[in-house]
Structure 1
């Protein structure tokens, strides 16, 4: 199955996918040299929202798209780790 930004929650193994997205977001943020607060400021999300995405407890596609845009990477990069 191909995971896309629109079907991440609809997939049967959401916990696994959320963990992969979480790791990809954290890795991309660190590679860009951003702190969580830097990324929150850039995306317009709050610190706790970034923390939840990176913990795998919130893989909201809209948030993942905002994070990808802030990091200047395609959203698919965060889904296909």
Structure 2
């Protein structure tokens, strides 16, 4: 049995933003690989992977990613 989820469901959980999921979804929407985003925002691929996994939610790094992906920083903000 499969569980189909909308893209919105993939990044929200009980009204809270899944920051890692939001970063991943935004990156994929732009057609960027982790390496592409790494080059664009100046973070390492490992740093981006940690953010997408939810291990690191450093606001400074998130601002750099938002700027590189041309999305508002509020896209990655906890509610």
- Root-mean-square deviation (CA, aligned residues, Å) is 1.8
Q: Which structure 1 residue ranges, 4+ long, deviate > 6 Å from structure 2?
A: none
TM-score (norm: length of structure 1)? 0.73
Shift of 1:79: 2.1
Unaligned runs of 5+ in 1: 1-16
Which ranges in structure 2 are unaligned for 5 or more consecutive residues?
1-15
CA contact (8 A) 1:24 1:79 kept: no
Higher relative contact order (CA 8 A, sep 6+): 1
Larger radius of gyration: 2
In the alignment, the residues of structure 1 paired with residue 32 and residue 21 of structure 2 have an alpha-carbon distance, to the nearest angstrom, of 15
TM-score (norm 2): 0.75
